Amino acid sequence: MSYTALIQALDYEEKNNIADKPLLPEHLTDHSDEGREFNENTGANEITGKLFSTTDFINNVRKNSATKNKEYMDVSSNISAYGIAHDCIRSVIFNINNYPVDSYENTWLPVGFRAVMGTAVHDFLQSEAGDMFTENEACLKVPSRRFSGRLDCLSGNSVLVEIKSCAYPDYAKIISSGKPRPGDLTQVILYKYCLENHLAETKLQKPTRGGGIPKLDHYDIKYLTLLYVCHELVAADSPSLSEAKKFATNLKKHLQSKKNPFWFITAIHIDVEKEIDMVNEQIAFINKKWDMLNECLDSNTIPPMDNEFVKLSACFFCKFRKLCKQIP
């Protein structure tokens, strides 16, 4: 289905009034001056204090998540590494082409907390790693393929490191299997592919805020490292707080945490030469999805629901759920 046909098929006169409507109903909007009172004795304006309210806090998180998501999505014009490695192909196309959003609010509000924790984890590891990392936050822009990504760390020209924060259940699976999560593996191999195949184009681009252009003129990535950091327990991960505590205690014993105070950090190292068949298989997947995304964007078409890169498991967090259901 073409973009023009979709616009005609949906009643956008009614749906596209989003910009004219407040992100939240009136009773949730900010009235920052309502607590301000004039003190006749001192002749000064005073602000009445408020006790912390979980309800008000949740409303603030909901409102702020909508604002931040809208700001981010409004300027998204490139395919990201996460889009190739993790996202449903339809949501990537909807986002880049600025299709109408059901709601900018996060479906699960604590995801914002996890994002902040993830950023702190990255900052801490990058600042404390010493000479183990020679480059941090290297920008990989490939305009010819509509791509923009940023890898976490490099060590020399042969080791690529991606930092991932996760909750206890995921961490336990990673520890027991000794394998990274599938999407994370795809993402780190995508960065390797970009460094080794699009470096010249990348080095001509301006870095994004907080990042830098790759420093070297040649990379031959021989080792891929997924550095996992388990950083939290929340209600969604365990049926109760007592179960969560028990889960964490058992995991600490398994990892002999008395000998390692950073038991919640583990590194999965992948020897590219030994795993070359798997790496090449992943590169084939990456290029197939990457090419298909660009073909759809160039032709203003949406892949059908039976497309191999449609990811139904991502529907819960998707901002385009209602729209997507209307398109076969």
Residue 231 falls within a domain, yes or no?
yes
Residue 86 falls within a domain, yes or no?
no
Asked if pLDDT for residue 183 goes beyond 60, the answer is yes
Which two three-digit tokens encode residue 56?
A: 């008000």
Where does the pLDDT of residue 252 fall: very low under 50, low under 70, confident under 90, or very high at 90 and above?
Answer: confident
What's residue 257's pLDDT?
Answer: 67
CA 313 to CA 328: how far, in whole Å? 17
CA 131 to CA 83: how far, in whole Å? 31
Residue pLDDT, tens place only, 191-218: 999 999 999 999 999 988 889 999 999 9
Residue 127 falls within a domain, yes or no?
no
Residue 6 falls within a domain, yes or no?
no
Residue 63 falls within a domain, yes or no?
no
Mean pLDDT (the chain, rounded): 86
* Residue 169 CA, distance from chain mean position: 19
Q: Which helix (H) or strand (E) holds 138?
A: strand 135-142
- Identify whether the C-beta of residue 195 lies closer than 8 Å to the C-beta of residue 219: yes
* Residue 54 CA, distance from chain mean position: 26
Higher pLDDT, 111 or 136: 136
Q: Write phi, then psi, for 293 (nearest 5 degrees).
A: -60, -45
Where does the pLDDT of residue 42 fall: very low under 50, low under 70, confident under 90, or very high at 90 and above?
Answer: low
- Number of residues in the chain: 328
Residue pLDDT, tens place only, 256-265: 667 788 888 9
Residue 109 falls within a domain, yes or no?
no
Q: How many domains does the chain have?
A: 1
CB neighbour list of residue 182: distance below 8 Å, 6 or more residues apart: none
Count other Cβ atoms within 10 Å, centred on residue 123: 12
Residue 169 falls within a domain, yes or no?
yes
Handedness of CA 226, 129, 81, 316 (dihedral sign): positive
Residue 316 falls within a domain, yes or no?
no
Name the pTM for this structure: 0.82
* 162 CB-contact burial (10 Å; exposed 0-12 / middle 13-18 / buried 19+): buried
In the chain, what percentage of residues exceed pLDDT 70? 83
DSSP per-residue letters across 20-62: GS-SS-GGGS--TTTTEEEETTTTEEEE------HHHHHHHHH
Nearest Cα neighbor of 165 from 98, 233, 229 is: 229
CA 127 to CA 134: how far, in whole Å? 11
Residues of the domain holding 143:
132-289
